Structure 1
Amino acid sequence: MPPPKHRSDLTPAKIGAQPHQASAQNTGDIGALIGKLDAAKAVAAPKRRAPGTASSATELRVGILLWPQFPLLSLAGLCDGLRHAADVGDQSRQIRCSWTILGVPGQSVQASCGVPVAVQDSLSSESDYDYIAVIGGLLPAIPTVHPRYTAFLREAASQGKPLIGICTGTFALAHAGLMAGRRACVHPYHVEDWKAAFPALDYATDCHYVFDGDRISCAGGISIVELTAELVRLHCGPDRAAKVIHQMTVNPAARSTHVARRHALGYGTADHDKLRQAIVLMEKNIGTPLEIAVIARLVDSSSRQLERVFLAETRTTPSEYYRNARLKYARWMLTSTELPIITIAYECGFSDASHFIRHFQQLYGMPPGRMRKALQAGTVEA
């Protein structure tokens, strides 16, 4: 059976969606915002549970399985995201969300950095979890897990329990035969490993996560924050998800991360595979723009073919779309940071300030300095 063609994907949204503007300009404003989010009424109603299984206030419960040599960042991102959503302020009570490390009682699992994490509860088919999350480890360590882990996952799958593969956790699910007919989110670093180990299984890359029925997969790294926020949104409401994002990713020093760019650019995507892949490459390379010919090669296209796709889908050329995305990000930076104009120009891939100002004025009708004052004064829409 020939291997399926892989696909790249992003969280669904429309091209041209308005960027998310910074909701706070200083730590005091952020504290006030977090207070409002804590006080907001959740849209999602708490789940009904059997008496005695869990508090009715617990809307999201996650059981976590750790594979040997797992990445500590994936565990921390998942647990801290749930922690911020679970309680008010910066408290850590497991009220609206809960998380538990499952495994063989009395044992601990060592992270790839050498830190051991103790098992908190045993593997039981009677456990009332909304999701079972598997955080994989270094690939050579995947087959060394205790057999009870695999048996537990197969039993959970047979009961229709949603399973999450995080980082190489998706490899662990696939090794257990639990990814057949499902599409997996695979980190670009591990694409060749995936193709060699599972040539018949579909995969996506250049995305944060993939939902495919009762299988969810995440590339790992900072992507786990995005996935955790989405799970929180689905179960606890958008106020909780916003709190996760603000508490974990709103940081001026991290303004150039892909998470920040995706918020600023409005999560643009499209149905056309090559267009979607090209947009991801543009978003990831705002500060050091790629040549369009390079982007075309990376998405297995020609410059001419890519231009036809962009004109048909966005009514702009790839170069125009790329430049406008960089200018849109610059507009967001004008209000979300206090950086000088020349620094913003360099952050957005312009070689000099005059070149940046000229293009900015052509797109928005005023130079960036005047735009910053207008946005701060509220005389133009954010």
Structure 2
Amino acid sequence: MVTERTPSDGRELVDRLDRACLKRDTHPSRAGAELNIGFLLWPSFPLLSLAGFCDALRHAADLGDQSRPLRCTWTLLGTSATTVEASCGVAVPVQAVDGSPRQFDYLVVIGGLLPKLEQVDRRYWDYLREADASGVPLIGMCTGSFVLAHAGLMQGRVACVHAFHLKDYKTMFPNMPVVANSDYLIDGNRITCAGGVSVLELATRLISLHCGPDRASKVIHQMTVSRLGGTSFVERRKALGYLAVGDLLVRHAIVLMEENLEAPLNITVIAKMAGTSVRQLERNFLTETGMSPKEFYRTMRLRYARWLLLNTTKRITVIAYECGFADSAHFIRGFKEIYGVTPGKLKASLEARLS
């Protein structure tokens, strides 16, 4: 009888992830780190959003639990020599919004209570517009989407807000599209996030994109408790491996594939979301992996299926569904082509060895 494997010691896993990151080629961003983020804090902002995002960055930034801002850096911005008070009453020291926003890979606006939306120094608004003019991607977190919309920076863009504020957004910006059924939404160089624990999903996505999947796995491992059922992000990364890809475009596409194993995206959709053409994406994939995006995606799903077969008690029909196959027959044929054995025989042989 196959049972769920007991996870390895937490410290051992973190050490292995850290060793994996040392083998990767780094691609420094504007500030020398791989990911450099500026946080623009609005009055009465939610502390969880800032703390969650920053803690994700600090886990990704260094080895073990040393917390040095090496791989990732972050800066809290406001008016000069002041603090910004969170909605819970905690005052957070900030640096002045001086210097060019070009130093950041992203500028994150964490919005506050809506009645205080306009109660900020005009330098806040000027800095946002300067960042937009400089081509720096803007992230609206919590009611930060309201801030971006109020500044005229969400024209033609879809915003993602918390369901609690959906009616507020529609009332304040009746002609702007909005959704409330997602953790976050990437629309070109605008990213909006509903807030709360959703910030961890977004932080992990950006860390995986810029620093690699090993760093993202470490973040999830350090900041969550493993579930007894289902598969966590770390478990999925174990199954798929910690692939080091230098090409940012290919890395972006792979992140999208990893997030959509159960309901695979069309390669045309992936290319569009990655901001490129299908032809360019295919060229980059062939150079980096020796496979087309479609072949790579299919191999990834089958590799994940094999891991599920060997490490869980899930039925073959369930695994086929979780890995994006329309039916078991299609899954079994594809699996045998790659591994030379049917899923049933592989599972039976393992059970025989363990019985």
TM range (shorter): 0.5 to 0.7
Shift of 1:188: 1.1
Sort the Cα spacing of 1:248 and 1:267 in 2 relative to 1 into closer, same or farther, 3 A: farther
| Partner in structure 2 of residue 275 of structure 1 | none
What is the number of residues matched between the two proteins?
A: 261
Q: Which has the higher contact order (CA 8 A, sep 6+)?
A: 1
| Partner in structure 2 of residue 31 of structure 1 | 11
Identity of aligned residues (%): 49
Write the mapping of 1:296-375 to structure 2, written as runs, cut at 5 A: none
Sort the Cα spacing of 1:100 and 1:364 in 2 relative to 1 into closer, same or farther, 3 A: closer
Sort the Cα spacing of 1:48 and 1:176 in 2 relative to 1 into closer, same or farther, 3 A: closer
Shift of 1:269: 4.7
CA distance in 1, matches of 2:192, 2:170: 16
| Partner in structure 2 of residue 199 of structure 1 | 174
CA distance in 2, matches of 1:197, 1:65: 22
Shift of 1:72: 0.6
For the pair 1:233 / 2:214, whether they are aligned, the reply is: no
| Partner in structure 2 of residue 352 of structure 1 | none
User: Which of these residues, 206, 209, 222, is aligned with residue 184 of structure 2?
Assistant: 209
Letter in 2 for 1:69: S
CA distance in 1, matches of 2:312, 2:165: 37
Shift of 1:101: 0.3
Q: Deviations over 1:208-253 (max 9, x none)?
A: 1111111111110111001001110111111111111111123449
Higher deviation after alignment, 66-75 or 113-122: 113-122
| Partner in structure 2 of residue 134 of structure 1 | 109
Q: Is the 8 A contact 2:110 2:143 kept in 1?
A: yes
Find the residue that maps to 1:68 and give its secondary structure: coil
Identify unmatched segments of 5+ residues in structure 2.
238-258, 266-307, 320-345
Q: Is the 8 A contact 1:123 1:149 kept in 2?
A: no
| Partner in structure 2 of residue 12 of structure 1 | none
Shift of 1:259: 8.7
CA distance in 1, matches of 2:204, 2:173: 29
Shift of 1:266: 6.7
Sort the Cα spacing of 1:143 and 1:363 in 2 relative to 1 into closer, same or farther, 3 A: same
For the pair 1:123 / 2:123, whether they are aligned, the reply is: no
Q: Is the 8 A contact 2:161 2:193 kept in 1?
A: yes
For the pair 1:96 / 2:47, whether they are aligned, the reply is: no
| Partner in structure 2 of residue 40 of structure 1 | 20
Sort the Cα spacing of 1:121 and 1:84 in 2 relative to 1 into closer, same or farther, 3 A: farther
Q: Is the 8 A contact 1:103 1:123 kept in 2?
A: no
Q: Is the 8 A contact 1:45 1:235 kept in 2?
A: no
Q: Is the 8 A contact 2:39 2:76 kept in 1?
A: yes
User: Which of these residues, 215, 219, 222, is aligned with residue 197 of structure 2?
Assistant: 222
User: Which of these residues, 137, 147, 151, is aligned with residue 162 of structure 1?
Assistant: 137
RMSD: 3.7
CA distance in 2, matches of 1:193, 1:270: 34
Shift of 1:29: 2.0
Write the mapping of 1:246-257 to structure 2, written as runs, cut at 5 A: 246-252=221-227
Q: Is the 8 A contact 1:43 1:236 kept in 2?
A: no
Identify unmatched segments of 5+ residues in structure 1.
1-20, 272-330, 337-359, 366-373
Q: Deviations over 1:73-118 (max 9, x none)?
A: 1001110010110001111100000011011121111111111101
Normalised by the length of structure 2, the TM-score is: 0.64
Sort the Cα spacing of 1:267 and 1:188 in 2 relative to 1 into closer, same or farther, 3 A: farther
Find the residue that maps to 1:144 and give its secondary structure: coil
CA distance in 1, matches of 2:167, 2:29: 43
CA distance in 2, matches of 1:139, 1:233: 32
Sort the Cα spacing of 1:88 and 1:259 in 2 relative to 1 into closer, same or farther, 3 A: closer
Sort the Cα spacing of 1:266 and 1:177 in 2 relative to 1 into closer, same or farther, 3 A: closer
Find the residue that maps to 2:92 and give its secondary structure: strand
Letter in 2 for 1:65: L
